[in-house]
């Protein structure tokens, strides 16, 4: 097959630096060589391809914005976005692994951790020697994490953690978990829980129809003794985990464009090759309408997301702005996957093409990190000043 070409209708590449393009091309070349050929098989077997961890680390996918002194490359937010886009062009599950490691594990340790915690964990998380997960969601608290039941108590020289988390990406193989739980005063704090601590287990959750190449699990805590130095002291309250979600959602906004581009690319090629009624199906107006709308939506999302990246680089992007981009782009990508799948006819349901895998993956993406509807409520609250969550 021909090489994938970036779909860049508004010449957005001209806004990127030479280095950003080099980083994108390098990751693209790596993914094409090592990940694209195997992803369908791992997806089908619902297995996580551990062998790619080292490569993802080498190409900067774990904590790209973490400063060099903590083992990261210290890149800007737009480069982070570009990396997530390339990953999700291949598979949302692979992107999820990198998002969690970067924004939900490294980010809170960097922003809210002590200097010792940063030095202890960040360099190893950057190389993939250590993998992490983020435990916020609980069986009874998803969209409303503030109601969480997980708790820890101060026992003098350590804390004791009890509770459970569910739907946690990377949990089955994570060496460290950033876990959010309430203290005696009902205030939410982040704790770094390490694999092997007594009373802590992380069983895998099976049977997903989506993100099958990403491992998801539970986190179970039964009287887990957590050393006091494992508390993230820099920030507490629901705002602490939500700020991590801001970082991850921003990456998802870029990632979703990747999935959309891959489906559009595939649909465009297929429609020019597939002959029906003696013509390529691309010559029919209804197919052209689909394709024209796809590239229009992708282009709009690219512009929205690039601007959001600039705002994030300047430290000015609001949670509500990030929320809008996550919601818009994921929905845009889901719609494009569905349309692209239709353009492929029956071939669209086969694993020879990626549309249906992307589509199934995006059903998780549209739900995690705030469901589509919750993001609508966030925008609603932002513009009216009236929260409509309860």
Partner 1 sequence: MKILVAISKVPDSTSKISFKDNNTQFDEAGIQFIVNPYDEWYALVRALELKENLGGAVTTITVGEANADPVIRKALAIGADDAVRIDAEPVDALFTANQIASFARDKGYDLIMFGKETINYNGSQVGAMAAGLLDLPYVSNASSLEVSGSSARLERDIQGGSQVIDVDLPAVISASKGMAEQRIPNMKGIMSARKKKLEVVAPIEAPRHTEVLSYSLPEAKSEVKLIDPDNPTELIELLHKEAKVI
Ligand X SMILES: Cc1cc2nc3c(=O)[nH]c(=O)nc-3n(C[C@H](O)[C@H](O)[C@H](O)COP(=O)(O)OP(=O)(O)OC[C@H]3O[C@@H](n4cnc5c(N)ncnc54)[C@H](O)[C@@H]3O)c2cc1C
Instruction: Rule CB under 6 A: say whether 371 interacts with ligand X.
Output: yes
Nearer to ligand X, 128 or 241 (CB): 241
User: Cβ of residue 57: shortest distance to ligand X, in angstroms?
Assistant: 19
Site string for ligand X, 104-143 (x = CB under 6 A): -----------------------------xxxxx----xx
User: Cβ of residue 381: shortest distance to ligand X, in angstroms?
Assistant: 11
CA dist 32 and 54 (Å) reads 15
Q: What are phi and psi of 382, to 5 degrees?
A: -65, -40
Instruction: Rule CB under 6 A: say whether 98 interacts with ligand X.
Output: no
| Contacting positions for partner 1 (CB under 8 A) | 2-3, 5, 18-19, 21-23, 26, 29-30, 33, 58-60, 64, 68, 73
Instruction: Rule CB under 6 A: say whether 97 interacts with ligand X.
Output: no
Instruction: Rule CB under 6 A: say whether 167 interacts with ligand X.
Output: yes
Q: Which of 211, 232, 298, 343 binds ligand X (CB under 6 A)?
A: 211
Residues 6+ apart with CB under 8 A from 251: 80, 81, 84, 95, 99, 102, 103
User: Cβ of residue 17: shortest distance to partner 1, in angstroms?
Assistant: 10
CA dist 165 and 218 (Å) reads 5
Site string for ligand X, 329-368 (x = CB under 6 A): -----------------------------------x--xx
CA dist 380 and 242 (Å) reads 18
Instruction: Rule CB under 6 A: say whether 373 interacts with ligand X.
Output: yes
CA dist 182 and 159 (Å) reads 11
Question: CB under 5 to 8 A by kind: which of ligand X, partner 1, none does 26 bind?
Answer: partner 1
User: Cβ of residue 53: shortest distance to ligand X, in angstroms?
Assistant: 17
Nearer to ligand X, 138 or 262 (CB): 138
Q: 3-state DSSP call for residue 173?
A: helix
H-helix segments, the chain: 18-30, 36-45, 53-58, 77-90, 92-99, 107-112, 115-127, 239-273, 285-313, 319-343, 355-365, 372-384
Question: Does 369 participate in catalysis according to the annotation?
Answer: yes
**Angle (nearest 5°) at CA 293 between 287 and 294:** 90
Question: CB under 5 to 8 A by kind: which of partner 1, ligand X, none does 364 bind?
Answer: ligand X
Question: CB under 5 to 8 A by kind: which of partner 1, ligand X, none does 50 bind?
Answer: none
Residue 221 host element (H or E): strand 216-227
Q: Please give the structure tokens belonging to residue 308.
A: 């959001």
Pairing, β 200-201 against β 275-276: unpaired
Q: Which of 16, 242, 360, 374 binds ligand X (CB under 6 A)?
A: 374
Cβ-in-10-Å burial (0-12, 13-18, 19+) of 371 comes to: middle
- Which positions are catalytic? 369
Which residues sit at the interface with ligand X, rule CB under 6 A?
100, 133-137, 142-143, 167-169, 211, 216, 364, 367-369, 371, 373-374, 377, 389
């Amino acid at each position: 097959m021909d090489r994938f070409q970036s779909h860049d209708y508004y010449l957005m590449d001209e806004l990127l630096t030479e280095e950003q393009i080099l980083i994108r091309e390098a990751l693209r070349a790596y993914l094409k060589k090592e990940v694209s050929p195997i992803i369908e098989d791992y997806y089908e077997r619902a297995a996580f391809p551990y062998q790619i961890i080292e490569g993802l680390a080498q190409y900067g996918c774990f904590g790209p914005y973490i400063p060099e002194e903590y083992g990261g490359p210290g890149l800007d937010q737009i480069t982070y976005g570009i990396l997530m886009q390339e990953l999700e062009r291949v598979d949302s599950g692979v992107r999820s692994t990198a998002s969690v490691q970067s924004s939900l594990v490294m980010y809170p340790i960097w922003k809210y951790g002590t200097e010792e915690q940063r030095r202890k964990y960040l360099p190893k998380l950057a190389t993939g020697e250590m993998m992490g997960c983020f435990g916020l969601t609980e069986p009874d608290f998803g969209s409303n994490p503030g109601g969480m039941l997980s708790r820890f108590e101060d026992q003098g020289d350590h804390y004791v953690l009890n509770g459970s988390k569910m739907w946690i990406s990377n949990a089955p193989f994570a060496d460290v978990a950033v876990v959010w739980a309430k203290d005696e005063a009902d205030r939410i704090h982040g704790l770094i829980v390490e694999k092997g601590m007594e009373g802590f287990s992380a069983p895998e959750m099976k049977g997903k129809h989506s993100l099958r190449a990403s491992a998801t699990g539970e986190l179970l805590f039964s009287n887990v003794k957590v050393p006091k130095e494992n508390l993230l002291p820099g920030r507490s309250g629901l705002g602490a985990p939500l700020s991590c979600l801001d970082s991850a959602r921003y990456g998802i906004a870029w990632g979703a464009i990747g999935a959309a581009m891959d489906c559009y690319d595939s649909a465009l090629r297929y429609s020019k090759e597939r002959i029906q009624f003696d013509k390529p199906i691309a010559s029919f107006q209804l197919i052209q309408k689909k394709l024209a709308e796809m590239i229009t939506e992708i282009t709009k999302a690219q512009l929205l997301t690039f601007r959001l990246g600039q705002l994030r680089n300047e430290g000015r992007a609001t949670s509500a702005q990030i929320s809008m981009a996550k919601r818009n782009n994921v929905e845009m990508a889901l719609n494009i996957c569905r349309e692209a799948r239709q353009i492929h006819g029956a071939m669209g349901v086969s694993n020879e093409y990626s549309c249906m895998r992307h589509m199934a993956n995006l059903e998780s993406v549209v739900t995690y990190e705030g469901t589509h509807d919750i993001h609508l409520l966030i925008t609603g609250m932002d513009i009216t000043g009236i929260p409509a969550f309860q």
